[in-house]
Amino acid sequence: TKTTVGILGAGPAGLLLARLLFVAGIDCVVLEAKDRAYVEHRQRAGILEQGTVDALRECGAGARLDKEGLVHHGIEFLFNKERHPVGFPELTGGRTVMIYAQTEVCKDLIELQVSTPGAPPLLFETHALGVDGANTPTPSIRYQTKDGAQHVLQCEYVVGCDGFWGVARNAIPDELSKTYERTYPFSWLGILADVPPSNEDLIYARHPRGFTLLSMRSPTVSRNYIQVPNDTDAQAWADEEIWDEIERRTETTDGWKVERGPITQKSVTPMRSYVHEPMSYGRLFLAGDAAHIVPPTGAKGLNLAVGDVITFANAIKHKVATGSDEKLQKYSDNCLRRVWQAERFSYDMTNMLHTDPNESEFVDKLQIARLTRIVNNKNAATDTALAYTGFPLD
């Protein structure tokens, strides 16, 4: 089989890219190792930047999002038992973000793809084994179907949207690759709970016992995270222990209190910063988690993946329209400028809000000083609001 663009992975990056290419009249095939239900129910990100929302709307995936998505006009920082709002529209020329879960983005894009006549093939339970000939005019993807049979997909271009554990990145020779990485001495224990969100805005709370994030999935479902040591077993935490800990860490002097409810899911996510440079090699392009990871504080992961595939789609449309490779050649540099800004923001947010068991009280004081500056200084607040609502595409 043959296609113009072979896509590894049907996470948000691969699914959105397939849709963008279909709308542009460029054919592609998507290979996804897991089954549809797995992809649709993998609980991950929740915040969509304005640019991500706009992209989903423009490609026809905005209907349910516009009905069910929750527009957020700011966040709150909680520290020293006080809550401090940071509003977005007034600091950013009108920008907002939207709560709409990654699971729902994936469901909508998959539904569009399987229900649109002539839409690109989306092959589930199809495991990519490797990318060959990346630096030739005829790159290809070796893959294996559920029955164990091996096949080759001939492509003109290959886009690796296969996440951090994918295989596409391996096709870039080691001597041309450089990776930048940081791990953190803490993880997040995330829960889903059948209880309305306790606060209208998300709360990012710094506390001597550790970071807590109060988020949501809908008007009836809360999504909360607490900082825990690495290698924590989520099941070792009883539900009431989790709520007790959230309550301790989000105590305020104004009488506000978190609401408890039945916990329906809990899991632990490690934190990592990672960038692979360059993000392309010959006719192979990496997008999303395949090329970079951010710690989740600041909600950049999904949005970065969307920025990458929009950049690639624009570059290949330019190639088809004009014959020029110029934008494809600039893909990596253009993406990396935005990626490093998101790496910086995610790193700063993480370090400002988490307690590091290896650090001294000096760092506690600096964290409070940084938070105080954001909530008291309009320039600092603007800087945070601009970063949170999204970095522009080049």
Active site residues: 72, 204, 296, 300, 388
Least separation in angstroms between residue 291's CB and ligand FAD is: 8
Partner touching 171 among ligand DHB, ligand FAD, none, CB below 5 to 8 Å by kind: none
Which residues of the chain form contacts with ligand DHB (CB under 6 A)? 45-47, 202, 213, 215, 223, 296-299
11 vs 46, beta carbon nearer ligand DHB: 46
Partner touching 6 among ligand DHB, ligand FAD, none, CB below 5 to 8 Å by kind: none
Least separation in angstroms between residue 366's CB and ligand FAD is: 25
Partner touching 128 among ligand FAD, ligand DHB, none, CB below 5 to 8 Å by kind: ligand FAD
Considering Cα of 34, then 288, then 71, then 253, what sign does the dihedral take?
A: positive
Listing DSSP states for 169-218 in one string gives GGGS-GGG-EEEEEEEEEEEEEEEESS--SSSSEEEE--TT--EEEEEEE
Distance CA 372, CA 199 (A): 21
Q: Is 44 a binder of ligand FAD (CB under 6 A)?
A: yes
Listing DSSP states for 39-96 in one string gives HHH-----EEEHHHHHHHHHTT--HHHHHH-EEE-EEEEEETTEEEEEESHHHHTS--
161 vs 294, beta carbon nearer ligand DHB: 294
Strand order from edge to edge, sheet including 212-218: 82-87, 74-79, 202-205, 212-218, 221-228, 178-193, 263-277, 292-293
292 vs 319, beta carbon nearer ligand DHB: 292
How many chain residues interact with ligand FAD (CB under 6 A)? 33
Partner touching 269 among ligand DHB, ligand FAD, none, CB below 5 to 8 Å by kind: ligand FAD
278 preceded by a cis bond (ω within 30 of 0): yes
> What is the CA angle 129-130-135, rounded to 5?
165
Q: Is 127 a binder of ligand FAD (CB under 6 A)?
A: yes
Distance CA 293, CA 305 (A): 10
Partner touching 288 among ligand DHB, ligand FAD, none, CB below 5 to 8 Å by kind: ligand FAD
Q: Residues in the chain, how many? A: 394
258 vs 291, beta carbon nearer ligand FAD: 291
Would you tell me which residues interact with ligand FAD (CB under 6 A)?
A: 8-14, 31-34, 39, 44-46, 102, 127-128, 161-163, 165-167, 269, 288-289, 296, 299-302, 305
